[in-house]
Structure 1
Amino acid sequence: MATEQELAPVTASLVAESDRLSFLPEVVGPHFMRFEALVYRWLSNLSQDYNGGFWNYYRLSNGGFYMAPDKDAALRLVVDGNAFDGEVSSDAAGIVATLFALGQMAEEIEGSAGVDAVIDHYHQLREFASEHAEAGLIFHAID
């Protein structure tokens, strides 16, 4: 029988302004600056609509996290290699960029002490993405 925790949806909470400076070092570890740059680069490469700006950080109830641009406008994503070309919310675009960055970071730090945590964060974010309103688009983009 499933426990109440297993049945509860994964929720996202916006990281408070006062916690922003410590958030990425806490969840990513010593590679946090490289990771943040990867997220920005991934979205820049995936979307001509993205032109920088403020990003929000979200903590997930399952221990995961993600970053998303603070924009109300949808973004068109084009993913070379899997034929994805679609419009998604900035929240979904952030999830896609964070998933790609986590995957790349795991590859870059393979064999180091922090790789297991990065892989766990990838799976925690995928779990959240599976319940997202744009789950189909997110999974098509990352597939």
Structure 2
Amino acid sequence: MSNRIIATEVPESRRLDFMPEAFTPCMMMRAEGLVFHQASLLARSYSGAYWDFFTLSNGGFYLAPRSDRRFEVQVEGNGFEGDVSADAFGIIVTLFVYGALVWVDDEALREKYSDHYHQLRAFAVEHDEGGAILRAID
């Protein structure tokens, strides 16, 4: 029996439920804006995309742009520069978003976003591009 964390793409029929579940109804618009803003900060070549949603078997969530291309990521805060898949880019972006949201003025939401950050980070450790993801968020 494997303890690996499994990512499952959210089907079209459940897309409307994803953002309120992952970020809460009151914060989903803010979170969506943060995703697009963070993506444009991390990859100069990012100019918008259709984003897929994923749930994790450990209770976590993430978003990733639907794309076959790779993204050149630059993180000013830690000097990371690397070429990653769209999936890894989405994980990096989502981790940065959860990291920003842990500063909200609501203890229950801070705990929720902290839990989601750690659930996604645990998945990132197992990801094929885990080393790059971890270096990007360091």
Instruction: Give unpaired runs (5+ residues) of structure 2.
Output: none
Code of the residue aligned with 2:29 in structure 1: it is M
User: Residue 39 of structure 1 corresponds to which residue in structure 2?
Assistant: 35
Code of the residue aligned with 2:131 in structure 1: it is G
TM-score by length of 1: 0.92
The alignment status of 1:133 with 2:125, answered yes or no, reads: no
Code of the residue aligned with 1:77 in structure 2: it is V
SS at match of 2:62: strand
TM-score by length of 2: 0.95
Alpha-carbon distance in structure 2 between the residues aligned to 1:86 and 1:63: 28
* Aligned pairs, number: 137
Question: Displaced runs of 4+ in structure 1, greater than 4 A?
Answer: none
Deviations 1:59-79 (A, max 9, x none): 000000000000000000000
The alignment status of 1:67 with 2:63, answered yes or no, reads: yes
1:92 to 88, 91, 112: 88
Code of the residue aligned with 2:85 in structure 1: it is S
SS at match of 1:72: coil
Correspondence list, 1:1-143, <5 A: 8-29=3-24, 30-107=26-103, 109-143=104-138
User: Percent of counterpart pairs with the same letter?
Assistant: 45
What value does the CA root-mean-square deviation take over the aligned residues?
1.1
Instruction: Give unpaired runs (5+ residues) of structure 1.
Output: none
Alpha-carbon distance in structure 1 between the residues aligned to 2:115 and 2:56: 12
